[in-house]
Amino acid sequence: MFDPLTSRYSFPCPHGRDPRVPLSAFRSLERLPGAAHPAVYRISFECSCGGEHPGLVSHDDLDWAPLGLRAGGTFRNLMTSLDDPLAGELVEVAAARIGAGEWPWSFYCFLEGRPRPVTPSAFALIAPGGGSLGLAVRCPACAAVSVNLVSRAHLDVPFWNDVRIGVVDHVFGEDALRTIEEFRGELDSARFDERRLDLEP
């Protein structure tokens, strides 16, 4: 489902294609009721065929697989001349970075007035526009929905955090952004403030 070396998810396409899409191609994410271990998310994604299709992603594939926890295969360790498991190497790198106070993903919570670490399961809607992405995020600390304007790399590359992001100076209600069309409308009408995204350890 997820390839940690290319940072792409595989989904079926109704037109017979086998699209491999980055997280930035997702348009909506919603946790389904029921299953909890792992939780399952209904997503819609922008396909290479030009359409938008639904898909299902487990919590593990959404939040943990991009860090390499489920990576298969081996690599040739030039120090030992042995084939080592790829997952072990990627997990060590991720753990070292998190231990140093870096987070794989982050966003700016407008209600709290500060940057927060987050995982992709907190994303609600993603809308492209003008080379940037509008990202509606449900804060794991206060549950408010904030909207940030970020680069594609900010979503697609774990541990890549934009130095500056746009922030809509408004807190959104739980049901304010029901569809991607409403979200795009909000983005077009919203005022963005530029904020520094300096995460504190």
Task: Domain ranges for the chain, please list them.
Answer: 2-66, 71-99, 105-196
Read off the pLDDT band of 95 (50, 70, 90). confident
Pick the CATH number of 2-66 from 3.90.550, 1.20.58, 2.40.50, 3.30.200: 2.40.50
Please return the burial class of 188, using the count of CB atoms within 10 Å of its CB with bins 0-12, 13-18 and 19+.
exposed
Give the torsion through C-alpha atoms of 178, 41, 56, 33, to 10 deg: -90
Read off the pLDDT band of 201 (50, 70, 90). very low
pLDDT higher than threshold 50 for residue 199: no
Q: Which pLDDT does position 25 carry in this prediction?
A: 95
Alpha-carbon span 27 to 183, nearest angstrom: 10
Cα angle 12, 18, 20 (rounded to 5 degrees) comes to 95
Read off the pLDDT band of 200 (50, 70, 90). very low
Alpha-carbon span 164 to 38, nearest angstrom: 34
pLDDT digits (tens, 9 = 90+) for 22-64: 999 999 999 999 877 789 999 999 998 889 999 999 998 999 8
Alpha-carbon span 143 to 129, nearest angstrom: 26
Tokens 């271990």 sit on residue: 37
pLDDT digits (tens, 9 = 90+) for 108-119: 998 899 999 999
Read off the pLDDT band of 193 (50, 70, 90). low
Point out the least confidently predicted range of 65-79, 129-143, 174-188.
174-188
Return mean pLDDT, the chain.
82
Q: Which pLDDT does position 80 carry in this prediction?
A: 85
pLDDT digits (tens, 9 = 90+) for 118-160: 999 999 999 887 788 989 899 999 888 888 999 999 999 999 8
Q: What is the pTM of this model?
A: 0.79
